[in-house]
Structure 1
Amino acid sequence: MRAAADLVWPPHSAASGMRVDAPGRLDADDWSAIHFLDAPWCDTCGLPFPYAIGAGAQCPACIARPPKYARARAAFVYDDASRQLVLEFKHGGRVESVAQFAAWMAVSGRELLQGADAIIPVPLHRRRLAQRRFNQSALLSMAIARRTGLRFEPHALHRVKATPSQAGKSASGRRRNVAGVFRVPERARPRIAGKVLVLVDDVFTTGATAEAAARTLQRAGAARVNVLTLARVVRPVNPLT
């Protein structure tokens, strides 16, 4: 049936639209253009460094203002090469790559997933969910949970305020936009109290959403909150300045 469907609706790369051999795959040129992330990076936020400066090194931003989460990691850089891939997934309904995305995230976030108790997706407000029809962070979380055997907690965190998109806002504007938007339901508190949690989202830009969600989970009793995203915005930084 899959072969017949591929003849009628040939699979195409979500990044470039080029023909591929199976749904969810990337064209060879698309694959080679994606900048996958690995060490050396900031031990806290996962910002890549141009060279290694020692275990436990932090970027200047994390030293100056330690984030509310413990650690953050991402699978690849959000840039011109990967933007269409992410946008097709997030807004275009191209969910056939979820299993592949989860595999990449499991590799980049292996140190966060080891010893974790549960995986929690960053929630959408019910209005946004009705418009989009699915929560991309929940799909990623579920796929990672299947790969790792970790508990999937889709209802442990709620978004109680409908806020404008974060796009185009400054770092401070993003923090104001998500202030007080998350809540942990009373019935979910026993399941996260004292637990090590991995918070999953699609794109890490300034970390404002991740910090707001992590703060809410910690106030509800979580012992530790790490953040794992599919992609992240990278601005070049010299770790020694």
Structure 2
Amino acid sequence: MLKTLLRVTIETLLPSQCLACTEPASGPGQLCGACFAGLDFITAPFCSHCGLPLAEPAPLCTSCDWAPPAFRAARAAFRYGPVAKRIVLPFKYADRPEAAGGLARLLLRPGADLLASADLLVPVPLHRRRLASRGYNQAGELARALGRLAEKPVAIDALIRTRATRALAELDQHDRELALRGAIAIRPGRESVVAGKSILLIDDILTSCITASTCADILYRTGAAAVDVLALARVADAETRDAD
């Protein structure tokens, strides 16, 4: 409560600061003009299934053509690049939950179709030890803020991490799949919340889509009617290692 009060006081007394740098912004939780222009927003062509930006128009990326993830469709607002890192990483690791409101606004346009068909927003979960360390689940804060903006209900605790896993950025695709096997589940007693619903899964960064696909598979097996995914950033370069 003291942290929240301090942040509100600072925001009231001082000019609003850009989410990505120290320059002034037009309002709380917004970007300055230079950083907004520096974001690489995702536009066509992209994979119709996972949302991966493509060099040339094609229905699917190679990965989805070979082995599509379990979710119906995924979209992200921008590529994971230099400006995106300055926005997402502090939100994720540096105790900046207040950034969720501004970041959620960036999801409204790329996620418009997915939001329109969604009955319920569900965040990708954190293990309790990581949650205790960070103090909040960044995907949960993003889901709450987006739910308010889009007037959609949020099931903040529908999914749980049943055990801790290694940082997925350290692993290749095969090892990520092994690490996540059995690590995500429906919270006992929440089965009826997702059954029959069109779910929009919320995350901060999509890298290999394995985490999102694992969550989608669990939701489908619990009775969800459909599962889509919406994230802030999409890693388009397989060599980017700090995104997960």
TM-score w.r.t. length of structure 2: 0.87
Q: Which structure 1 residue ranges, 5 or more long, are not aligned? A: 237-241
Instruction: Answer yes or no: is the 8 Å Cα contact 2:201–2:227 preserved in 1.
Output: yes
CA distance in 1, matches of 2:97, 2:16: 13
Instruction: Answer yes or no: is the 8 Å Cα contact 1:122–1:138 preserved in 2.
Output: yes
**Deviation for aligned residue 1:20:** 3.4
**Deviation for aligned residue 1:83:** 0.7
**Deviation for aligned residue 1:109:** 1.2
Equivalent in the alignment of 1:206: 208
Equivalent in the alignment of 2:47: 42
CA distance in 1, matches of 2:192, 2:62: 36
Deviations 1:191-210 (A, max 9, x none): 21121101101100101111
For 1:1-241, what aligned pairs fall within 5 Å after superposition?
Answer: 5-6=10-11, 9-53=14-58, 57-235=59-237
Q: Which structure 2 residue ranges, 5 or more long, are not aligned? A: 1-6, 239-244
**Deviation for aligned residue 1:167:** 1.9
Q: 1:196 to 1:33 in 2, by over 3 A?
A: same
CA distance in 2, matches of 1:42, 1:196: 21
CA distance in 2, matches of 1:23, 1:121: 24
- SS at 2:181's partner residue? coil
Equivalent in the alignment of 2:3: none
CA distance in 2, matches of 1:92, 1:185: 27
- What number of residue pairs does the alignment pair up? 232
CA distance in 2, matches of 1:3, 1:145: 22
**Deviation for aligned residue 1:162:** 1.0
Instruction: Answer yes or no: is the 8 Å Cα contact 1:14–1:94 preserved in 2.
Output: no
CA distance in 2, matches of 1:207, 1:43: 14
TM-score w.r.t. length of structure 1: 0.88
- SS at 1:183's partner residue? strand
Q: 1:206 to 1:95 in 2, by over 3 A?
A: same
Instruction: Answer yes or no: is the 8 Å Cα contact 1:112–1:198 preserved in 2.
Output: yes
Deviations 1:47-67 (A, max 9, x none): 1233445xxx11121011111
Instruction: Answer yes or no: is the 8 Å Cα contact 1:180–1:212 preserved in 2.
Output: no
- SS at 2:51's partner residue? coil
Instruction: Answer yes or no: is the 8 Å Cα contact 1:141–1:152 preserved in 2.
Output: yes
Q: 1:166 to 1:60 in 2, by over 3 A?
A: same
Equivalent in the alignment of 1:239: none
Deviations 1:144-183 (A, max 9, x none): 1111222110121111111121122212222222111111
Identity over aligned residues, as a percent? 35
**Deviation for aligned residue 1:10:** 4.8
**Deviation for aligned residue 1:225:** 0.9
Instruction: Answer yes or no: is the 8 Å Cα contact 1:158–1:184 preserved in 2.
Output: yes
Q: 1:141 to 1:204 in 2, by over 3 A?
A: same
